[in-house]
Amino acid sequence: MKIIGITGTLGAGKGTIVDYLTTHHGFKHFSVRGYLINIIKARGEEVNRDSLTYTANALRAQNSPSFIAEELFKEAMQSGTNCIIESIRTVGEVNALKEKGNFYLFSVDSDRKIRYERIVKRASETDRISFETFSDNEEREMNSTDPNKQNLSACMNLADYHFTNNGTFEELYRQVDQAIEQTLSVNGM
């Protein structure tokens, strides 16, 4: 059993990779976003990027920088199958999960303008923002020195496999297939 975490910039294709791994490689999906949305809705609060970020940061500050990812890792281990955890955003999460073994981190990025166009088309409840807000959100999440807050840049640097997603789905899928082939062959399957 292998567990893959995925990190990357906003709108880079994390969800596309998750969809591909679940439909073509049989992975089970565990979502940090879904975990947080359940908590926010249970509190009767509005779901948006700020409430997601605030809730995640608060949970990490109250428990540990790796708390959310470790909760999802426990669920993944109980599933008994290959799993993907979307999306890893703190160095503490990466380090804690790598210590557990059978964990690999995938990172995806693409050009900022392409990513913004993707989120506008996606139009989820957290994506209805201007390019300026999109850019500001990304800058805030890229390089925090607070271990309880997002540091996408550092997480991406710790990834075992890096994907660039400026092209077609097929180009991205080829990169993912190569990484999966290498990952699943490590220590056998």
pLDDT digits (tens, 9 = 90+) for 115-165: 999 888 877 656 678 899 888 888 888 887 878 788 999 999 999 999 999
Give pLDDT, residue 124: 67
- Please report whether residue 141 resides in a domain: yes
Give pLDDT, residue 127: 62
Give pLDDT, residue 54: 92
At residue 98 the predicted structure's pLDDT band, cuts being 50, 70 and 90, is very high
- Please report whether residue 151 resides in a domain: yes
User: pLDDT averaged over the chain?
Assistant: 90
- Please report whether residue 93 resides in a domain: yes
Give pLDDT, residue 18: 97
The predicted model gives 86-112 an average pLDDT of: 94
Residue 187: pLDDT above 80?
no
Residue type, 69: A
Give pLDDT, residue 126: 64
| pTM of the shown model | 0.87
Reported as type and span, the H/E element at residue 3 is strand 3-8
- Please report whether residue 17 resides in a domain: yes
Structural domain that includes position 76: 3-182
- Please report whether residue 187 resides in a domain: no
Query: Residues 164, 109: contact at Cβ < 8 Å?
Result: yes
- Please report whether residue 167 resides in a domain: yes
The burial of 155, by beta-carbon neighbours within 10 Å (0-12 exposed, 13-18 middle, 19 or more buried), is given as buried
- Please report whether residue 188 resides in a domain: no
User: Which range among 35-39, 51-55, 139-143 shows the weakest confidence by mean pLDDT?
Assistant: 139-143
Q: What are the two backbone dihedrals, phi and then psi, of residue 124, each rounded to the nearest 5 degrees?
A: -75, 175
**What is the number of domains present in the chain?**
1
Close Cβ partners of 101 (under 8 Å, ≥ 6 residues apart) = none
User: What CATH number has the domain bearing residue 171?
Assistant: 3.40.50.300
- Please report whether residue 45 resides in a domain: yes
